A and B are shown apart, each in its own frame.
Chain A
């Protein structure tokens, strides 16, 4: 049971305070104008109610004073988004990136006290907003994968030695969950290479070139890391990530690989089916899978 003390009834806020915060907030979230080639506050769009509530001082009108907060709001959020999406920002240029991030945050303002949560939903927004810009979408996915690998919670990892017989038998038909910190990324350009250069302090515009790669972005020993995957490994993990049961995921991957006529590219010429157990052993050892829910394994071990 949660040991937290019982929560008391919430305290009623003064109505005037609620109204002012609503209008003040709306004003400082007013997006910059990008029309003049530089950020500009649109002070006329501020709430008249909020502006009226503020004292003027010297030559500064109330809207100019409100603009200080309007600027701070957007500078802070755009800076955070630039830090969250370095590859996307460098690839499309910061001016275009800022416009896009602004549109995103106008439609989906922050709903969480932690700034890293701002990034959630941005890749999906990009897919809605510019579905044909595949490189930008893949860049955003890659950037977001790094955020996930750092910030997402870790769940108890699958430990085959602790599986009961029934759990072991059910694994084949039950979905096998990947750790929340693990993301799968497919790239049709050298995105990882470009991102790595950026993070190493080479700020030039990325030199993109066509190149197909598959990656697992993971957390290892508390740090973010990446593992290159073959296309078959990627497909298999993607099937699992999408909720496909283990047995079916393996069958689908084998069928798909055979259809592609690769004859076991991933197994050094041997059969793909023969490679699967090796892959699973490795991934399990790395803690990529979540232990089946409700298994009660730790308790079992202790007894």
Chain B
């Protein structure tokens, strides 16, 4: 069983959805039953009033968790404290029980690439990332989870497997996993490793939440983490294995493109129940 049981009304087996703009109309009209929503932090960190007003309405009915794409914890550039202040303010505003972002870099020499970029998986880099992640968690004042990437390149310099690196960072930093089951599948195919090895290495007591999503396969065989399709059978199968190993976790379905109607997406998220065998 997951060590972090219930957080701000989000039970340890809750099933949530990514909150996306085209679904607002349906949500505000129907107030469908959803355990929790996950928002992309950066969409609510600016000065725009409308996103904030919509978020206020959501918060009257649902717990919300924050998931970022812009922190770039592994960037060699220093931590951006202006960004972190905004993130902390949003975390306080939403009363999110935890904040997550990706185990990646995004900015180099002040230039933002707006992508989740990979880097060599080495001990020295694990220590560097862990030290920064610990500071972020301390600054935010709540559990901070790091998500494994879908990646399309691997580096000669890497001397750790991805799951070893992920676990090393979590253990050194005292932070948490934001485990993306789809990303494990994508990277396993792209880099030729066994997804089950990843799952077996996870410290399940440190998992805040798991993501599931769909992906796209290119002609050259590379799988891209596009979030534009339903979850594949292979990812559901992996999800079921993760559930058995862990004893349960919070589940979040991500969909960013080719969005179906909300009821359809909700039904897809609830398919998770079929794979939750204890």
Using CB atoms and an 8 Å cutoff, list the residues of chain A in contact with chain B.
4-5, 7-8, 10-11, 13-14, 16-18, 20-22, 24-25, 28-29, 52-55, 57-60, 62, 64-66, 68-69, 72-73, 76-77, 80, 109-116, 150-154, 219, 222-223
Within 8 Å of chain A (Cβ to Cβ): is B2?
no
Is the pair B135, A114 in contact by a Cβ cutoff of 8 Å?
no
**How many residues of B sit at the interface, in one of the four size bands?**
35 or more
**A219→B128 CA distance, assembly (Å):** 44
Is the pair A151, B46 in contact by a Cβ cutoff of 8 Å?
yes
Chain A nearest CB from B166 CB (Å) reads 17
**A14→B135 CA distance, assembly (Å):** 17
Q: Which residues of A contact B53 (CB under 8 A)?
A: 222
| Cβ proximity bits B95-139 to A, threshold 8 Å, 1 near / 0 not | 000000000011111111111010110001100100110010001
Within 8 Å of chain A (Cβ to Cβ): is B273?
no
Is the pair A17, B119 in contact by a Cβ cutoff of 8 Å?
yes
Known contacts A22-B109, A53-B120; decide if A154 and B220 are in contact (CB<8 Å): no
Using CB atoms and an 8 Å cutoff, list the residues of chain B in contact with chain A.
42, 45-50, 53, 70, 74-81, 83, 85, 88, 105-115, 117, 119-120, 124-125, 128, 131-132, 135, 139, 152-157, 190-192, 220-222, 224
Known contacts A53-B156, A62-B153, A222-B49; decide if A111 and B85 are in contact (CB<8 Å): no
Q: Which residue of A lies closest to B52 (CB)?
A: A222
Is the pair B83, A113 in contact by a Cβ cutoff of 8 Å?
yes
**A14→B137 CA distance, assembly (Å):** 21
Is the pair B120, A17 in contact by a Cβ cutoff of 8 Å?
yes
B113, B114, B119, B153: the one within 8 Å of A55 (CB): B153
For A20, A21, A80, A111, the residue with the greatest tally of chain B CB atoms inside 10 Å of its CB is A21
Is the pair A11, B157 in contact by a Cβ cutoff of 8 Å?
no
Known contacts A5-B139, A11-B135; decide if A53 and B112 are in contact (CB<8 Å): no
Chain A nearest CB from B112 CB (Å) reads 4
Q: Which residues of A contact B222 (CB under 8 A)?
A: 60, 68
Chain B nearest CB from A106 CB (Å) reads 11
Chain A nearest CB from B2 CB (Å) reads 29
**A28→B128 CA distance, assembly (Å):** 24
Is the pair B128, A66 in contact by a Cβ cutoff of 8 Å?
no
Chain A nearest CB from B74 CB (Å) reads 8
Chain A nearest CB from B199 CB (Å) reads 22
Q: Which residues of A contact B113 (CB under 8 A)?
A: 25, 28-29, 73, 110
A24, A55, A115: the one within 8 Å of B156 (CB): A55
Q: Which residues of B contact A10 (CB under 8 A)?
A: 78-79
**A219→B49 CA distance, assembly (Å):** 9
29 contacts between A and B (CB under 8 A): A4-B81, A11-B132, A11-B135, A13-B128, A17-B76, A17-B120, A25-B108, A25-B109, A25-B113, A28-B117, A29-B113, A53-B120, A53-B156, A57-B191, A62-B153, A65-B152, A72-B115, A73-B113, A76-B114, A109-B112, A110-B113, A110-B114, A111-B111, A112-B112, A114-B42, A150-B50, A154-B47, A219-B49, A222-B49
**A207→B85 CA distance, assembly (Å):** 46
Q: Which residues of B contact A17 (CB under 8 A)?
A: 74, 76, 119-120, 124-125, 128
Chain A nearest CB from B83 CB (Å) reads 6
Known contacts A69-B115, A113-B106, A114-B42; decide if A20 and B120 are in contact (CB<8 Å): yes
